[in-house]
Chain A
Amino acid sequence: LAKTTQPISMDSYEGQEVNITCSHNNIATNDYITWYQQFPSQGPRFIIQGYKTKVTNEVASLFIPADRKSSTLSLPRVSLSDTAVYYCLVGALLGGSARQLTFGSGTQLTVLP
């Protein structure tokens, strides 16, 4: 079972790029990586997902090195509204209907003016 480690908290200023790294040393071959964002009193919201190399969408980029033992969520030019908790999830689609899901403990990102 993959174990994930994230920094507890990070501070940044508006307009800066923020990189949050998640360590998952014992990730398995079939595991994929997903990042979620959670605001207070809301459920986690999907940000980005990937398996290897780099993935980019309209809100973030996900960098996964060749050994896949870590992944980095990159948020370009953050604003105050990006203040939230960010979770990495290592998941695997096992045989049949089985799933293996390991959420990180979350990183509280605070964006300062």
Chain B
Amino acid sequence: DAGVIQSPRHEVTEMGQEVTLRCKPISGHDYLFWYRQTMMRGLELLIYFNNNVPIDDSGMPEDRFSAKMPNASFSTLKIQPSEPRDSAVYFCASSSTQGVEETQYFGPGTRLLVL
């Protein structure tokens, strides 16, 4: 398997523009997670899905952020409108629960810069 795939790897946009980040999880995994990483706040869990259904979006910072998972092999994280404080690295991770533990596999991330 190619692992978790994210696109684009880098995104530079201007404040107010819409940004869409994409993720393809590992085939067969039933959980998908979106994280944001910054120097100030570290790794933050934004939202996660189970079998394409959003389970907990309490980490989504504002209504400007939305995420969808239309099928088992694709998810998007959208920011509309974007602001400079949204600049961060966004990671997607997927997992398949086995027993009482769970291992997440992370993608390479999308580095977002909002000017």
Contact = CB atoms under 8 A, between A and B. Distances in A.
Pairing of A with B: yes
Given A43-B109, A87-B43, A99 B103 contact: no
A43 B90 CA distance: 9
Contacts of A99: 31, 48, 55-56, 102
A45 interface: yes
A103 B101 contact: no
| Contact residues on B (Cβ < 8 Å of other chain), bracket | 20 to 34
Interface in A37-72: 41-46, 49, 51
Nearest to B49: A97
B74 to A, nearest CB: 18
Interface in B68-111: 91, 93, 97, 100-109, 111
30 contacts: A30-B100, A32-B101, A32-B102, A34-B101, A34-B103, A34-B104, A41-B108, A41-B111, A43-B93, A43-B108, A43-B109, A45-B106, A49-B101, A49-B103, A51-B100, A51-B101, A87-B43, A91-B101, A93-B100, A93-B102, A97-B51, A97-B53, A97-B55, A99-B55, A101-B45, A103-B43, A103-B45, A105-B42, A106-B42, A106-B43
Interface size class of A (residues with CB under 8 A): 20 to 34
Contacts of B51: 97
A44 B55 contact: no
Do most interface residues of chain B lie in helix, strand or loop, or is the interface mixed? strand
Interface of B: 4, 31, 33, 42-43, 45, 48, 50-51, 53, 55-56, 91, 93, 97, 100-109, 111
Given A49-B103, A97-B55, A99-B102, A42 B97 contact: no
Interface in A68-113: 87, 91, 93, 97-99, 101, 103, 105-106
Contacts of A106: 42-43
A46 B45 CA distance: 17
A51 B102 CA distance: 11
